[in-house]
Structure 1
């Protein structure tokens, strides 16, 4: 059984997230941003979470829909860049970007709800308007390469599966300093609906034998602390846990680094409500089976225990 990762005299792991939120809200530089809403921003932040004993950075001061975040991670690992597989599972987190592109390019004032319904019902429409460009999953499992031909031109080569390479290198050369999954493909940024926010993952093995642990560091160039970070923390820890299982290591520490770490100025109600709450309980994750590869996990493979959060807090997503 998982052990309780929090002792009676140590702060709840979630408190560091709340402290970061308060610091950004109270001290952040007021800035204009691409969405036109405006943010309060700091540059450079770090959070650390011990994943031993099944612990996960699953926030309790508001409900975080961890199954939605998990479905998104599994979608990344397929390499898909179209929202239709997510829409068919009821996952809404990417809908606004292709909808905005559709409205801008066609002039059709189709509502978001109607757009999503059409994505689900019409495969051809989804193929045309549901694609996000070469976002996360494409870079993770099919980073493009180019081969030079005899006439000096270039043609597409075989894509690089960074996730598979990291698992192979962790298995065969665990103390390497090159266990990295990178999403920031400079040549393709302009084709992405949104350049990667959680852009660089690095993995590190500490200890030996049965005590060997897999640590992970996520560098996030841009972080919406209120809406994005709760998902990002869960997803990074989930990826770390899946990789650890695949390579036979115990989960270690997750280190999160934020570049532009911000709160949107129209999220005051969310922020004040959440900061007035106290963390409660210590949710844990069990991965109930080990599939043949990291690309074979299903949503049914993940079971969360001890999660009794405060109610959800609604706020608009800045697009």
Structure 2
């Protein structure tokens, strides 16, 4: 997740730009996928000129950007630059956020997996290994993966544990671009995708679709358009108050204390399909050069510094 962190010097300009219902709706629409101005005007039921003026205001404060992309001729497409805006009321002397560590992990850097076909591992320019062959997930080139897909199973990552000695973890956030896995693509194809941290389930998201038919903003053009194209950016979080999915509290008993982060040399994050999942529709996991979001796997660990006794 790309976060725009504001301070007192720049918060007012951004606040003025988003203090408008049409511009807020534009940001919401673009958070799902890129659109051109005609598409935005149609969804907002506004004249083209009004929509273009609102897009320009968001561009001026760099909340969105416009790029020329090939299509039916060359067209201007708007994309959102940030997934979250935060106002920082306290900063350290060098301007960095206090008591937070952010780590990004390439999707090909998994340390363990259990894969069942349909499956595949895809680089920026070609398949890695053979399609529908779980052995491909053990190829050395897997580290260059930009798309992983499988019908059943899991992949596990191990993030470095950067919790300072003597500190207590207060919140762990994990963000990934995900969707279901069907042959080619299928818009009505639910799948229950689960995330575990240090062996503890922190959330299950039911993906509604294997999204395709419209090219992902970052998806390479050699990748056929009738294949999976993009996913949705999902935020899984565990805090002292419980587990959350996209900010909504889940009915799960675990809290961050159950992860025992202070006792582990790494933080294990596993993504997959439960054996008893109601909707076993597989998953697609996107890297920074596939799909709609320029990121790999993003984990943020927040903590409090314990007072010395």
Q: TM-score, normalised by structure 2?
A: 0.27
Q: TM-score, normalised by structure 1?
A: 0.26
Higher relative contact order (CA 8 A, sep 6+): 1
